[in-house]
Amino acid sequence: MDDIIERIREELKTSADEDTRNSGKRYFKESVRLHGVKTTLVTAIEKKYFHEVRALPKAEVFSLCERLWQSGYMEESFIASGWSYALQASFAPEDFPVFENWVARYVTNWASCDTLCNHTVGAFVEMYPQHLESLKRWARSENRWMRRAAAVSLIIPARHGLFLNDVLAIADILLLDKDDLVQKGYGWMLKAASESHQQEVFAYVMRNKGTMPRTALRYAIEKMPPATRLQAMEK
């Protein structure tokens, strides 16, 4: 078991190709570290090696995840995120600082942010909604990825119709954020909430459309009927 990280990295290296690495970098404005492995293959590697660690104590699996995060490679962050999410049935309140540390220290791009937060953090918050207040604290962070994380962690709960008041509260905090990736994050969160609460999200957009960045606004209304979208887009 001690060599599992080395075996994963060796398999990623042998599965990598230059075209995939170069193609992947085009999706990011910031510098990213990529082995150059297709996402479907990364998922297969994640599942293959999870069979070896699934019986370990949760703390040991999280420690292995930390080692993967430390590399800075996006594919390794995907594997770490998949492993942590696979343990959701055993999440406990004391796990939150682990996830918060990963966001604060290791997340450096939108893909790693969303992969971790859509699933691991989102599932955790559904189980322990007292940590919604922690997400509001993230929304006030100077770290752009923590601010995006505050929003994208609620994508799946919002699709389930949960936490509307908290979704709107986080949108309020992020409303005038200058970072386009944060704007897209909270716009996406509002779009997810609109699947169950279209009228409430539409009312929120109409109240704030004079100041809401157009990027966020367009994301928020994307799933609304055409006439509703047109009304929201009118200046």
Q: Distance between alpha carbon 142 and the CA centroid of its chain, in Å?
A: 17
What is the percent of the chain with per-residue pLDDT over 90, rounded to a whole number?
97
pLDDT at position 75, please?
98
Strand partners, 33: 73
Confidence band of 2 (pLDDT split at 50, 70, 90): low
Using pLDDT thresholds of 50, 70 and 90, give the confidence band for residue 179.
very high
Instruction: Provide the pLDDT for residue 146.
Output: 98
What pLDDT, on a 0 to 100 scale, did the predictor assign at position 3? Answer: 93
Percent of the chain with pLDDT over 70: 99
* Residue range 187-211: mean pLDDT, rounded: 97
Q: Would you tell me how many other CB atoms lie within 10 Å of the CB of residue 75?
A: 28
C-alpha dihedral, 229 to 113 to 148 to 160, nearest 10°: 50
Q: What is the rounded distance in angstroms from the CA atom of residue 47 to the CA atom of residue 44? A: 5
Report the distance separating Cα 224 and Cα 191, nearest Å.
9
Average pLDDT over residues 182-206: 98
State the first-to-last Cα distance of the chain, in angstroms, to the nearest integer.
60
pLDDT at 90: 98
Give pLDDT, residue 88. 98
**How confident is the model over 62-98, as pLDDT tens digits?**
999 999 999 999 999 999 999 999 999 999 999 999 9
pLDDT classification of 161: cutoffs 50, 70, 90: very high
For 96-146, the pLDDT digits (tens) are 999 999 999 999 999 999 999 999 999 999 999 999 999 999 999 999 999
Is 90 exceeded by the pLDDT of residue 1?
A: no
Query: CA nearest 111: which of 187, 160, 39?
Result: 39
What's the mean pLDDT when you consider all of the chain?
Answer: 97
Which of 141, 158, 140, 145 lies closest to 116 in space, CA to CA? 145
Q: Is it the case that residue 215 has pLDDT exceeding 80?
A: yes
* Spatial distance between the Cα atoms of 203 and 140, rounded to a whole number of angstroms: 24
Question: pLDDT tens-digit profile of 13-34?
Answer: 999 999 999 999 999 989 999 9
Q: What pLDDT is recorded for position 112?
A: 98
> What is the per-residue DSSP string for 69-128?
HHT-BHHHHHHHHHHHHHTGGG--GGGHHHHHHHHHHH--SHHHHHHHIIIIIHHHHHH-
Specify the pLDDT at position 235: 78
Q: Give pLDDT, residue 227.
A: 96
Residue 232: its pLDDT value, please?
A: 95
pLDDT tier at 185, thresholds 50, 70, 90 = very high
Annotate 127-167 with three-state secondary structure: HCHHHHHHHHHHHCCCCHHHHHHHHHCCHHHHHCCCCHHHH
* Residue 181 pLDDT greater than 90, yes or no: yes
